[in-house]
């Protein structure tokens, strides 16, 4: 069980890195091509009076790159789709690492038993929210599957809208699982709160570290 969990955790991290890398690469290639053809046009213009053959050669390369840019309308759509996957896949990852910001200054003033009860209620509400959105979004994706509409600017590659939308119910299902795990740990007295990020506490720790270095 621990081995399977470790594999999934590593896959989760690797998949997020993969999405970020592909988004960055696609955007980088598009920006390079979108600005590179002007260089060949400029060089072609420079040789236009002295050597017509050389000038035509650079103009041809510039035209070729410009044609590539004009056919890369899919790059923006792909980046948006990958960003959507990053958001909804990253929701559960944020819960796992405590990356979401917790607004619980007043809660921490209460006793630990009261904090535990509040955390249980918060978990139940979060589970209800994640479960509701997971079911609702699954019905939405099922409708997209039935109509089988191609994704904007990506249909040429056989990509359907439901391919992109499928991450929504999947992501909320993962969030449901993560909050259920937190709820179990709270009930077993292995955890008090939701384990969310505490910016105030982090700032205090950073301040104490800087003071100790002086």
Helix, strand, coil distribution of the chain in percent, nearest 5: 80, 0, 20
Residue bearing tokens 């384990």: 195
| Alpha carbons 61 and 58: distance in angstroms, whole number | 5
Residue 122 to residue 48: CA distance in whole angstroms: 71
CB–CB of 65/33 below 8 Å? yes
> Rounded distance, CA 160 to CA 166, Å?
10
Distance, in Å, from the CA atom of 171 to the CA atom of 65, rounded to the nearest integer, reads: 38
pLDDT at 141 over 90: yes
Give the residues across from 101 on adjacent strands.
197
Residue ranges per structural domain of the chain: 1-72, 97-214
pLDDT in tens, 180-198: 988 888 888 887 766 655 5
Q: How far from each other are the two terminal CA atoms of the chain, in whole angstroms? A: 46
Indicate whether 200 pLDDT > 50.
Answer: no
Question: Which helix (DSSP H) or strand (DSSP E) does residue 121 occupy?
Answer: helix 112-147
In sequence order, the 6+-apart residues with CB closer than 8 A to the CB of 145 are: 160, 162
Mean residue pLDDT across the chain: 82
Judged against a pLDDT cut of 80, whether residue 176 lies above it is answered with yes
Asked whether 162 and 193 are in contact (CB, 8 A), the reply is no
């Amino acid at each position: 069980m621990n081995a399977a969990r470790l594999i999934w955790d590593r896959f989760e991290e690797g998949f997020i890195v993969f999405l970020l890398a592909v988004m960055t690469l696609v955007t980088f290639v598009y920006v390079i091509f979108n600005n590179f053809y002007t260089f060949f046009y400029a060089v072609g213009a420079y040789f236009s009076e002295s050597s017509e053959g050389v000038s035509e050669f650079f103009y041809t390369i510039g035209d070729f790159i410009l044609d590539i840019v004009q056919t890369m309308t899919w790059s923006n759509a792909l980046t948006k789709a990958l960003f959507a996957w990053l958001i909804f896949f990253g929701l559960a990852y944020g819960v796992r690492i405590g990356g979401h910001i917790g607004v619980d200054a007043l809660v921490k003033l209460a006793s630990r038993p009261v904090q535990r009860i509040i955390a249980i209620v918060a978990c139940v509400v979060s589970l209800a929210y994640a479960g509701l959105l997971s079911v609702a979004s699954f019905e939405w994706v099922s409708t997209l599957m039935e109509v089988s509409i191609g994704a904007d600017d990506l249909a040429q590659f056989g990509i359907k809208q439901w391919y992109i939308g499928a991450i929504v119910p999947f992501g909320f299902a993962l969030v449901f699982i993560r909050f259920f795990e937190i709820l179990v740990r709270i009930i077993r007295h292995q955890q008090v709160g939701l384990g969310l990020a505490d910016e105030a506490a982090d700032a205090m720790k950073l301040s104490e570290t800087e003071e100790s270095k002086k």
